[in-house]
A and B are shown apart, each in its own frame.
Chain A
């Protein structure tokens, strides 16, 4: 290859890179980076007259001064952490069963059965829980039929119900990474653990869980993030008193038309979510790029 043609090709390659990069840069700049910068700017201003604004921390101060906002924020974070832990505790044995105990065809079928419900819209899944749990619902009727209760029982609109719904909605995002990481655990390591005198508890603690750590981390991060940003499940299953932070954001934006305050809330939620994701990645010594592989 001559020098001329190689520089010619170099230019062609460089032009190709620029062409390929254009949609990416447009997408990220116009739809992701600039809107979030603008969100931050709007959250840092205060309306003093019609279309007149000045820089101020008033929206953030209002958040810390008003106990309702602050409590909702903490409550959303705490309940999201609880939902993440519960999803892990419930999902881990099932993932282990699919990855290590089932063999061949049954294993694939069981895994697919875990996946299929989650292709159905979250709205439909939540609707299902409403039919099961409402006062005139399936479980209430069953309890009356069985003679366990005297009248209809309302099981919607409380925190336990929100938790049931959140765990249900998040389960897939825990089971998939756990199954794939447990699949890669060699059976002979578990056998060796037993040969060396371990029992089910010590083998799980010293061999299975350390091996599954990357899967546990990525599952927990995704579940936490999705739960924190969830709107449908707390709103439909928790009713008026669900006090979820995304509902506060919606109220500020759509109902009260206070975009400045809504932007501040949005930014605070984004900070919380990013912070927890970052801590999770640091603790498990992973990067975001590893998590999606």
Chain B
């Protein structure tokens, strides 16, 4: 079953056909989402009524295109705001964690590492409700004791940011640690021998080396936050991020404007994902 072992033509053909069918299965839903963005019909379904761009640029009811849909545009803004905060926090803490786990030794490190990985095995819905319950308990206690109403601890964007940060940080920690593990420590020592302070050595030698991983981790964190649904669902308040708005519209049944939006998301996230892969691959290339 490898090229060097001769196999009957029939089996080879069958195998290739199977793989081809698999890729059709992978691509089919994405292709139909994209194609139906251009359907001149009220619903994202058959029949095909000819091509139109009104689901992108339309400005009259009932055909409101995505670029004229206030609610959608606002929720994109909300998602972007959340994602930027999550990315900044998760990359910062992830970098600290990477240095801690790769560079230092202290008792209990392995246990701490396992706990740091645990958000990966906690279902997103449960992470959401546990943070909801806990923050609500704090808010209630503060209100009873001091009479202060801490509104940011009630469902809303602050909790969404905190909830997403809680698991995205594990991912950024893993990505940045993997790169730091490959760092040749003698480069930093050379800088120290040449009279650099430790801070200067880290800033001028180690951080530039980590740059591909930092860029990669930022893109991954941004996408994970932007596309998160489960944790966000439990923590969301009145400002709905994009995934929540899209979900509500999907449940109600929507116009092909949703396809147009999905197509834009596919293009942007696909491009960002490729960028993340190349940023990290470029990093792996220059280590040799």
Contact = CB atoms under 8 A, between A and B. Distances in A.
Interface of A: 13, 16-17, 20-21, 23-24, 27-28, 31-36, 38-39, 42, 90, 93-94, 96-97, 100-101, 103, 110, 112-117, 119-132, 134, 136-138, 140-141, 168, 171, 187, 190-191, 194, 200, 203-204, 225, 228-232, 236, 246, 249-250, 253-254, 259, 262-263, 266-267, 269-270, 273-274, 277, 288-289, 292
Interface string B1-33: 111110100010001001100110111111111
A8 to B, nearest CB: 13
Contacts of B124: 229, 231
Nearest to A129: B29
Contacts of B272: 119
A269 B266 CA distance: 32
B187 interface: no
Q: Name the 4 nearest CB pairs between A and B, nearest first.
A: A128-B29, A229-B123, A119-B273, A35-B130
Contact of B106 (A17, A23, A103, A127): A17
Q: What does DSSP make chain A's interface, helix, strand, loop or mixed?
A: helix
B45 interface: yes
Nearest to A90: B22
Contacts of B118: 32
Contacts of A112: 277
Interface stretch (B52-60, B62-70, B91-99): B91-99
B3 A128 contact: no
16 contacts: A13-B104, A20-B97, A24-B96, A27-B169, A36-B122, A100-B1, A115-B277, A123-B246, A128-B29, A132-B28, A187-B2, A231-B230, A249-B126, A253-B234, A259-B133, A269-B123
Contacts of A289: 113-114, 117
B123 A273 contact: yes
B100 A288 contact: no
A136 B46 CA distance: 6
A99 to B, nearest CB: 10
B115 A28 contact: yes
Given A38-B134, A39-B133, A132 B32 contact: yes
Given A31-B165, A103-B3, A270-B123, A262 B229 contact: no
A27 B166 CA distance: 7
